[in-house]
Amino acid sequence: MLNGELDSIYTDDPRGPRYVLRGTIAENLVDVVCRFRSDGTLLIVITVYVVT
């Protein structure tokens, strides 16, 4: 996932923007959904899944 890219930004969530990062782990295409804490000091990973 170190070479992943920003795939999407969802701004319609009242808790703040969500970001979808897409990359590969062990030859599997993986999405990581995350957001920054409101003060911007921490990246919170919400979910990780293999793209099928």
* Residue ranges of the chain with per-residue pLDDT less than 70: none
Question: What is the tens place of the pLDDT at every residue in 5-18?
Answer: 999 999 999 999 99
Measure Cα distances from 8 to 17, 26, 36 in Å: 10, 22, 15
CB hemisphere CA count around 50 (13 angstroms): 5
Structural domain count of the chain: 1
- Of all residues in the chain, what percent carry a pLDDT higher than 90? 88
Domain ranges, residue 13: 5-50
Q: What pTM value is reported for the model?
A: 0.86
Task: Tell me the pLDDT of the chain averaged across its residues.
Answer: 94
